[in-house]
Amino acid sequence: MRVTVLTISGRAGENTIVEVWARRQALAAGAAGVQVDLATPRMPLALTLRALRRRRDFDLLHVHGIPAAEALRHARLDVPVVVSVYGPDVFGAAKRSDASGAAKAGEPAPPPPCPGLSCARLTLAGSEGAAALARTRGARETRVVHLGAELPTRTPRSLLRQSDLGQTPTLVTAGRLSARKRHADVLRALAVLAERHPGLRYLVIGAGPERIAIEGLACRLGVAERVQITGALPQEQTIERVRSCTVFVMPSTEEAFGVAYLEAMAAGVPAIGCRGEPGPEEIAAAGDGFVLVPPGDVERLCQRIDELISDPHRLREAGQHARETVTEHFTWKRCGEQTAQAYEDALR
């Protein structure tokens, strides 16, 4: 079985993290026995997909993201196609369809189909929620394949005693600086906890349109000196910084999965997400070390953070459980095996 994996999503500005995931998943599938070739064609995708097919001989094409899937309609390839969908593409399509459908009697219209998805023999989704949304857009057959995280080979710093590390407790969020990530909730929790935990800090990793708003809110709450915003960092450096912190906190909404949670948990950093979101709910259901809070509930968020950073034993135990959850359910090895099986089934 020869599979070509398209490592870009087809939409400018959204390819970086998708490419990271696409490459890592392809490597995992390769380790599971699939002959995988990576391709990064130029725009427009439809034309370069046809050229790619002329140059390469493969049994299956795997593309990532709805924009790339849309290009398939025009490319009209003669091979089976698998499409992977992620949070921003399926959620973004749902919101646009809801807005456009509100004109009739105040009710949203049914989501419009995505012809690119209907061209795929199989659509892979990161969570059951994302799979359900993909089906509303026209996906013929869906399957959940969770992305994974690397497990550190040495004892993670987060599993050592806080006194041994000599560091102050640090909350961390890694992701695009957008309103749905709800950095503001973490800042408000930080302000409430500041008196009880005078050394508490907040590390924000990422870039995006909300940076000025985040900085302004930190100043108004009087916690600016406790907050560091790094901007975007290379993926490996992001993971390293996250894993040196105490608790990963990202109570975001519209979270179809959340690889960032897993990358923290793999090193024994307990994580906090938002209840009612597809990805966080599935991660929490798989094991311990991941706590959910109601959306926008800063009081509950404060309680959960305080419970962890006030009790070193509880913090270490939560970190150990977090690592076990990833080890048992969310490794790249497991992802590669499930991806390889999906390829085989798509070729039947």
Find the length of the chain.
348
Question: Could you read off the pLDDT of 100-149 as tens digits, one per residue?
Answer: 444 445 555 556 777 888 889 999 999 998 899 889 888 999 999 999 99
Alpha helix (H) ranges present in 222-331?
235-243, 259-265, 278-286, 298-309, 312-329
Q: What is the DSSP string of 250-278?
A: ---SS-S--HHHHHHHTTT--EEEETT-H
Instruction: Kindly state the percentage of the chain with pLDDT values over 90.
Output: 66
pLDDT band at 42 (very low <50, low <70, confident <90, very high): confident
pLDDT band at 319 (very low <50, low <70, confident <90, very high): very high
pLDDT of 155 reads 60
pLDDT of 103 reads 43
**Residue 14 amino acid letter:** E
SS3 170: strand
Question: Could you read off the pLDDT of 141-165 as tens digits, one per residue?
Answer: 999 999 999 998 766 555 554 444 4
Cis before 280 (ω within 30): no
Assigned token pair, 55: 């140059």
pLDDT band at 10 (very low <50, low <70, confident <90, very high): low
Long-range CB contacts for residues 299-307, cutoff 8 Å, separation at least 24: 301/185, 301/186, 301/189, 301/249, 301/251, 301/272, 302/189, 302/192, 302/193, 304/272, 305/171, 305/189, 305/193, 305/247, 305/249, 305/272, 306/193, 306/196, 306/197
User: How many CB atoms sit inside 10 A of residue 161's CB?
Assistant: 10
Is 330 within 8 Å of 262 (Cβ atoms)? yes
Is 322 within 8 Å of 269 (Cβ atoms)? yes
pTM: 0.88
Q: Residue 62 phi/psi, 5° resolution? A: -120, 115
